[in-house]
Structure 1
């Protein structure tokens, strides 16, 4: 089990939790929460694989992804009150999710032989599309359409991953450094209210 696979499972886990927690106050139905968590977890990777022509889709062939999502939804239901008491819990899980999915998406794209520019974009798609679906399902404006440093942090992290690859940084260290870079950019942007200017 390599670092890439572990990061993809961790990303799936965190996104599933963020999706399940997002319905708080909008629905008391845990099936609905579970469905939202499931779609949030697989949305970005599914779009990536479709655009790259990578079939069958990853979550269809790997049962451990399904098990990871189910465990995450179960954990969100059991520890719901504890998680909801923590400030910005959803934001924390979402940030970890986009970081992990970005680097996994870039690596998969590169492994399929696409150009580095396309790989960085695929990493961004992998990271943000699940959150877009989640926000749409719960009738919220997707964070992608706000002024926040969100998708841009993923794109920057994807480019950072490609840059470290050109420098022959060991793959596992590249994963960790690039994911940490995205988390850091996102946290600093939120903490210091750094946003893009209005159109």
Structure 2
């Protein structure tokens, strides 16, 4: 007689409810993979990070931390609630620390965010180029940077929101050096490999 194996129950998040998941669901669903996002009521799972992604985030995070005013913060891979059915997790967001911010917070309000940054990976290309920027602009986030790899070198596409259209307008494409005045004066060499003489 064969041994019967008891199957583990499927996680609750494998069966979406009618109408999709909500932003609040992300805080209560057990065992979600790390950095799960919610886009239009659908759960989006993040692929493993490449070195390019990690190195680029480290460069930009450190550069932004060096220039933001006191009382501001750079949050890395921290979710932002854009409404009931959207809770993306930008790679970086820059915002003043809210007076009621606590160590237990799990998300940030878009009206507090001045800059959102996405580092594009092959699996996130369409979301990072089209879906997320449209949602960030509609939510009122003034500045957006999209970073893409050009044979392992970062290229930063900088945008500012046009309040008349609620869309982003391209303000610059930066290949070797990122030099901007807004949202904060910043001038850095776009070199991401460690121990390269920086």
Range into which the TM-score falls when normalised by the shorter chain: under 0.3
Larger relative contact order (CA 8 Å, sep ≥ 6): 1
Larger relative helix fraction: 1
Between Structure 1 and Structure 2, whose CA radius of gyration is higher? 2
Larger relative strand fraction: 2
Q: TM-score, normalised by structure 2?
A: 0.26
Q: TM-score, normalised by structure 1?
A: 0.26
